[in-house]
Amino acid sequence: MSFPKIEKPILAQQNPNCQGLYKTSEGLVAPKEQADSIFAEKVREKTTRRNQEVNAHEDLHQQVAGSFAKGKTIETGSDELGNAIATGGHVEVQMPPSVTFQAPMTQIEKAENHARIIAQSAIAPASLGGDAGRLSAADQSVYAQATSAIGAASSAKSQRAAFEGQIAQQSGQKPDKNQELKPEDTQKKPLNIIA
């Protein structure tokens, strides 16, 4: 996110009507002290607004990610008065572990739900609108990774269900969905699944 620079007041053109007056970035002409005061107030307003926008954006990532968020970091620079102004921020999130169809169904579903929460967290600030709602390249990257993890977990779930169906058909027993499938189980009963 970028923020516009507010220009310092400049001495108005020398003419009999403007002696000692300064022109602000908004085009107002005033004595130096008043022009400096207007400048300082505009900078403070911009800095406050910017800090609120960045914090709201990062807070929403953190709130939606919940326990999968590790913390918020706000990067700062200096405004025209030398005060700290937020230039960006980030929230570290824990991505879900990758799963295969051999994992217990509960683990697959847990990974899928985890990925959904991370995806929602990545795009949540868009609901804020304005500068606070702009999604960064990092936000979009996390969203893409999370949606990929959702797809992988969904595929693992489908493969697991198909494999359980094959086992049930061959053995007449329904396998435990919450039991991890061992490699020898998958070798004995080959799958013909296209993912």
Residues 146, 81: Cα–Cα separation, whole Å: 41
Q: Is the pLDDT of residue 43 over 60?
A: yes
* pLDDT at site 13: 63
* pLDDT at site 35: 85
Mean pLDDT score across all residues of the chain: 85
Q: pLDDT (tens digit, 9 = 90+) per residue, 70-85?
A: 889 999 999 999 999 9
Give 21's pLDDT tier (boundaries 50, 70, 90): confident
Q: Is the pLDDT of residue 124 over 90?
A: yes
* pLDDT at site 191: 37
* pLDDT at site 14: 56
Residues near 52 by beta carbon (within 8 Å), at least 6 away in sequence: 132
* pLDDT at site 143: 96
Residues 21, 179: Cα–Cα separation, whole Å: 81
Residue in the structure block whose two tokens are 């200096």:
78
Which amino acid, 8? K
Q: Is the pLDDT of residue 15 over 80?
A: no
